[in-house]
Amino acid sequence: MKNRRLTQVAAVVLTTLSLVAFAQEKKGVTPGEANYQAAPSPLANVPMVQSTHPNAPKMTRAEFDEARDIYFQRCAGCHGVLRKGATGKPLTPDITIAKGSEYLKTFINYGSPAGMPNWGTSGDLTEAQVDLMARYVQQDPPQPPEWGMADMKSTWKVLIKPEDRPKKKMNSLNISNIFSTTLRDAGEVALIDGDSKQIISILKTGYAVHISRISASGRYLFVIGRDAKVNMIDLWMEKPDTVAEIRVGLEARSVESSKFKGYEDKFVIAGDYWPPQYVIMKGDTLEPLKIVSTRGMTVDTQEYHPEPRVASIVSSEYKPEFLVNVKETGKTMLVDYSDINALKTTEIGSARYLHDGGWDASKRYFMVAANNSNKITVIDAKLNKLAAIVDVGKTPHPGRGANFVHPTFGPVWATSHLGDESISLIGTDPVKHKQFAFKKVADLAGQGGGSLFIKSHPKSQHLYVDTALNPDPAVSQSIAVFDIKNLDKGFTVLPIAKWAGITDGGAMRALQPDFNKAGDEVWISVWSAKDKQSAMVVVDDKTLTLKAVIKDPRLITPTGHFNVHNTQHDVY
């Protein structure tokens, strides 16, 4: 018995020393990746049923609820709602109980080189919370509720009926140059006039709006919060406002409207993180019409996955189809909406962890980041087939990406990365530049990892790259700009946060460069804490000098912003 106890102690010591070494070496994920993956989930506040595994350590209901909140605030983004594994490893009782509490506490405390943050030694979790989480992951995962048609319809509101809306534009705004800016922690969006730089209105939305999308006609703005609330905003009104809203699930990221000729503004689609599904709605009222589950088999191991999240959605201009990216299974679903009562879907498998992406300049090829596979998937929307899978840098995160004409390689699409400083260029012209088509033709060296967005414009000679999640404040508060005609000379650094002139000491980040309609200005968010001042900085694209700073106490945690014209026409 004594020898057995000594062996157990030795095993714990060796595990601790090993994990300490791993943490000190800082291998695996970068701090930027860790921050991105550990974003909180709106499911933290959703009532769930406690399910206690008979062989798991004892927990009181209060302990279980506290641990559940921590899990959804810190862990669900990587390990999944049901702990079946997503970006992170599975944490189900058949695995965790066998590891034991001491091993799990050590693992949670020190992290791992595979990407697990060192929650204890970093100070993010107390010793008591580390113990709590070690016991929690040995319980059966609590099951969040489903969200079906009755749930959606109970939240669906048509605030102004289509027949009661304006028959023509009722304001003097240059609608095509409006910016829809996410005020993340306030649960709002700001509509900002791109001409005057004045705030038109602040509208209540869901929490942490992820994206804004524009209808094919340019009249309606759709925004979706991480809590899966969709707002439909009529830009023709004297003062633009919400005319319909719905909650399509419990957690979500994506919304889009139909764009194919003859179907403009007819349908809206939204995709959920939980439950794993998408819903097709009427384009003028958001009435839910069709819900489709995305649960199914993974593209690689052909194993069932219970919660494959819908990451990004785009609308084809070649066919009446939505292209729906299903993250964990690694599949793009081409959903034919010409008859939603007899829905036809083309399933294209590529690589797991499909996330965000955008069109190439021709709008035929959908370029999608399979982020934890370090690949870009290319989907041919005309032929409905996989055109290529391209290896790129570590954890690509392009947003919509950036299109421009390279002096040597012709049309290219670019992505930056969360996990390293590279900017990968992929050829996109299979006609005039066939030898470069859908291959990585070059890597540029940027400021560092932690990039979220990259952007250019057909009328610009510059490529803008943010590094908002880089741990170095000098890097995270600035933007790198490349001269497209002379990429070899490196980048120019724009000190965006410094230009904002904020002096209240907030931890600022510069992110998401986006052009105005004319392509001669670049708007960049300066995102600070909820109780600190934030701002929008406007850069003159020709001279790369400061043009304007927009400061307003109502600009609370501005993050993403979307120009109406560029979003409507997929200009990036």
List the Cα angle 189/193/195 in 5-degree steps. 155
Q: Is 210 a catalytic residue?
A: no
297 is catalytic: no
Catalytic residue of the set 59, 116, 152, 237: 116
In angstroms, the Cα distances linking 156 to 86, 214, 228 are 31, 20, 12
Omega of the bond prior to 275 within 30 degrees of 0, cis? Answer: yes
Our answer to whether residue 149 is catalytic in this structure is no
**What DSSP string runs through 454-492?**
EE--TT-SEEEEE-TT-SSHHHHT-EEEEEGGGGGG-EE
Q: Are 165 and 238 in contact (CB under 8 A)?
A: no
Marked catalytic residue, from 210, 305, 397, 417: 397
Q: Is 406 a known active-site residue?
A: no
What is the C-alpha separation between 403 and 111, in angstroms, rounded?
A: 38
Pairing type for strands 558-563 and 545-550 reads unpaired
Q: Verify whether residue 79 is a known catalytic residue.
A: yes
Please calculate the CA angle 410-415-417 and round it to the nearest 5 degrees.
150
308: left (phi over 0), alpha (psi -120 to 50) or beta: beta
H/E segment holding residue 23: helix 2-25
Q: Which residue out of 210, 355, 417, 565 is catalytically annotated? A: 355
Spatial distance between the Cα atoms of 70 and 303, rounded to a whole number of angstroms? 29
Task: Decide if 333 is catalytic.
Answer: no
Q: How far apart are CA 47 and CA 44, in angstroms?
A: 8
| Integer CA distances (angstroms), 465 to 231, 398, 472, 505, in order | 29, 10, 15, 24
Contact 404, 456 (CB under 8 A): yes
Catalytic residue among 78, 152, 232, 536: 78
| Active-site residue list | 75, 78-79, 116, 355, 397
